[in-house]
Structure 1
Amino acid sequence: MMRFDVTVLNFDGTYHDQPHLLQNKHRWIDLSDLTQTNMYCPQETLAEIAKRMDLENQSCLTFIGSGNYHYVTYLFLQNMKEPCDLVLFDHHPDTGRPYPLLSCGSWVSKALSQLPLLQRVVIIGLHPKYSTFIPPQYFNRVRVVSTANLFKSSEAKILQWIKTDKVYISIDKDVLDPAFAATNWDQGNMSLSSLLEMLETISRYKQILGIDVCGELPYNPLGDMAYTQAVRKNERANQAIMDIASSF
């Protein structure tokens, strides 16, 4: 990355509860007035999101919000100008049927079927039970690495899974153990330090075209102490990801 800057997408007020994160210089894009964005997104709304984000001036790091909006990653991949692999840290494959509406559970399938510059998807941290959700036609373009297998793999092997010199990275914090993040989906057992180490490893040998992060708890203006503590945990994880990304 030649420069480092940050964009924060405001779909539902999630980041209003992360003041320390917002103390960092960032571009704030308000999307809270848009309807039909939660989990599923029609084409006209997706086009409006893309327009407001000004993808030609895409930031190095984008905070998307809840995993319900993970489909926004499709727009970043759609904007790629050269062949690349997607490295996806996620407890779920997001390879469901993408029609009639793009969704947080189908955007990977749509990217594989619609974006010729996307060469391969490497999903790190996927729970084995969700491997059956990957359609057979994508078996040769999707590499699945469970957390258990990750611990047995060397740095060189991790890099072998990535076939292109340039990569885009998408992180859903539901890949993390609940000790390190709190999301609205079932979670994996990856440690935050393992995630950060893999990001650093990839950055040493590959050119990272961009990173996005989702997996926030949906905004709750009446949240209790447990909610506040969970948001602080997410904020710490977000800050750690931002800190290491800024060093690439």
Structure 2
Amino acid sequence: MPIVTIHDFTGVYAEQPFMQELRESAATDKNIHWLDCTKIEGTDCYCDDEAQAVLHKMMDEAGATAEPAPGIHFFDNGNYHYMSKLWTDRVQEPFDLVVFDHHPDMQPPRFEGILSCGGWVLEVLKNNPFVQSVTLIGVADHLVDEIREWITSLPADARNDVNGALLDRVKFIRESELKSELTDLSSHFTSHIPHSTSLYISIDKDALSTAEAATNWDQGSLTYEQLSATLTALTQNHKILSIDICGERARDMDFADTSTADALNNALNEKLFHTLTGLHGIL
């Protein structure tokens, strides 16, 4: 079984019986770590330096090494997706980053130097010397166009990062592509990701349709069948470093039926957990 780490920022997992089973198991199972992050200030959407230091310390104490064993990480809702940046900082080998998300998370920072849920992918691209490319799956079409226009408008030196031109190292699979019955997501990878490449996978459940998940951001059109089939294909042909999962509902979000939203997310998390722990390359 892979190492499982749950970062509980808001307490929303208390509404999910399966996640509470994992919390109870963490008391006796050395492969499951439950990290109570609810008291850490400076983490909602933006993560300041002090909060990052606290989070890294917690990760160290949970046994995360500089080159972690394959693991599954849960990050609460999408406001904390930047945790994928903190985890990829620990990877010490070349890798490609594969992100399922309805948003590109490549926005320029509103406050210079502060890590954000909306800009963490850009931070990884610009500052991580080991990341070779990024594939973003399920991004809203208009957001892809906006990011491309913004990067193209930058001065020549700003369009580059530590490894070359930004746009040359990013592949977008737009939401509109997912809606085609002819779309086979796994085929998008075989042509540009060598089988020898290690992968780090990060999933924001807002890429999925509202029939599959209830999140705190606008959602896309990805089906669970597409997600599962793509994960299966990737893990069969690549070394998987870790897989991240975020996209719970916000605790203060006004759902017409909160219990239904929690039941939907509970079922999805359980299904994802069992799918991932059963995949070749994660064991």
Quick check: 1:7–1:59 contact (8 Å CA) kept in 2? Answer: no
Secondary structure of the structure 2 residue equivalent to 1:235 = helix
**Do residues 196 (structure 1) and 224 (structure 2) align?**
no
1:86-109 residue CA offsets vs partner (Å, 9 max, x unmatched): 000000000011323110001111
Counterpart residue type for residue 277 of structure 2: S
TM-score (normalised: structure 2)? 0.81
Q: Is the 8 A contact 2:78 2:246 kept in 1?
A: yes
CA 1:58–1:104 in 2, change beyond 3 Å: closer, same or farther? Answer: farther
37, 42, 51: which one pairs with 2:48? 42
- Which residue of 14, 17, 20 maps to 1:16? 14
2:217 equivalent to 1:185:
yes
Can you list the C-alpha shifts for 1:67-103, whole angstroms capped at 9, x where unaligned? 0011111011111110000000000000011323110
Larger radius of gyration: 2
What is the letter of the counterpart of residue 156 of structure 1? S
8 Å CA contact 1:143, 1:161 repeated in 2 = no
- Matched-pair identity in %: 33
Runs of 4+ in structure 1 deviating by more than 4 angstroms, as ranges, are 222-225
Equivalenced residue count is 245
**TM-superposition CA deviations, 1:114-138 (whole Å, max 9, x none):** 1010111100111111112242432
How far has the Cα of 1:58 moved from its partner? 6.2
- Are 2:36 and 1:30 equivalent residues in the alignment? yes
2:270 to 215, 236, 239: 239
Contact 1:122/1:161 (8 A) holds in 2: no
Pair 32,181 (structure 1): closer, same or farther in 2 beyond 3 Å: same
Superposition pairs of residues 119-138 of structure 1, within 5 angstroms: 119-131=132-144, 132-134=146-148, 135-136=151-152, 137=159, 138=166
The answer on 1:53 being equivalent to 2:81 is no
Aligned with 1:229 (options 241, 248, 260) = 260
Looking at structure 1, the residues matched to 55 and 34 of structure 2 have their Cα atoms a distance apart, in angstroms, of: 13
Counting only pairs closer than 5 Å after superposition, residues 29-178 of structure 1 correspond to structure 2 as: 29-54=35-60, 55-56=64-65, 60-98=71-109, 99-131=112-144, 132-134=146-148, 135-136=151-152, 137=159, 138-150=166-178, 151=180, 152-154=182-184, 155-163=186-194, 165-178=197-210
**Residue type of the alignment partner of 1:129:** H
Question: Contact 2:13 / 2:76 at 8 angstroms: preserved in 1?
Answer: yes
8 Å contact from structure 1 (residues 6, 62) kept in 2: yes
Structure 2: stretches of 5+ with no match in the other structure: 26-31, 153-158, 160-165
Cα distance change on mapping 1:39 and 1:53 into 2, 3 Å: same
